[in-house]
Amino acid sequence: MRNPFNPLRGWHVLILILAFFGVTIGVNATFITLALRTHPGEDVPRSYVQGLNYNDTLDRRRAQEALGWTARVNLVERDVVLAISAADGSPVAGLDLVGTLIHPADTSRDCPLAFAESRPGVYRVTLPCDGQGDWRLEAHSRDDAPFEMVSELWLP
């Protein structure tokens, strides 16, 4: 049987180089496309603007720390219950709380939450999304009260 590459000519080398780079570019393009579809690279919308306003975030955290507020999170069936108490143990009532339930791997599964005060210092929301496993709960007040918290949450 005759070897098509004997003798090796210039057009053989050209075809081999084009095939090599064609496969390499094709695989890279496929991986880049799959990577961008599964995770766009930005976890937080408008992250640059939030970075510019980070001193405001630090001021709110210092104010919350000075007040001595603590929060406890509990999951009751499909309700997230958040109890906030002051340094003396009294409930902190009247907050306008919102939050987000964040999926660790897929930002398209994140769920916005709007807490309602069920009794003084106890805020509750029914989970609007389905999912199991490890999630991150971020909650903060929309009004001037300096409250924010982050907690890991396991959904059965």
CATH of residue 116 = 2.60.40.10
Q: How many domains are contained in the chain?
A: 1
| 75 part of a folded domain | yes
| 7 part of a folded domain | no
Averaged over 92-115, what is the pLDDT?
86
Residues in the chain: 156
Band of the pLDDT at 42, cuts 50, 70, 90? low
133 close to 106: Cβ distance less than 8 angstroms:
no
pLDDT of residue 31: 95
* CA atoms in the 13 A half-sphere facing the CB of 67: 19
Averaged over 39-53, what is the pLDDT?
72
Give the model confidence (pLDDT) of 74-87 as tens digits: 888 888 898 988 88
pLDDT of residue 104: 82
| 19 part of a folded domain | no
Residue 38 φ then ψ, to 5°:
-85, -30
Averaged over 90-104, what is the pLDDT?
87
CA atoms of 79 and 82, how far apart (whole Å)? 10
Band of the pLDDT at 24, cuts 50, 70, 90? very high
Domain interval for residue 120: 69-155
Band of the pLDDT at 43, cuts 50, 70, 90? low
pLDDT of residue 23: 98
| 146 part of a folded domain | yes
149 close to 125: Cβ distance less than 8 angstroms:
no
Percent of the chain past pLDDT 70, that is, above it, reads: 95
| 38 part of a folded domain | no
| 44 part of a folded domain | no
| 90 part of a folded domain | yes
> Per-residue pLDDT for 139 more than 70?
yes
The pTM is what? 0.65
| 47 part of a folded domain | no
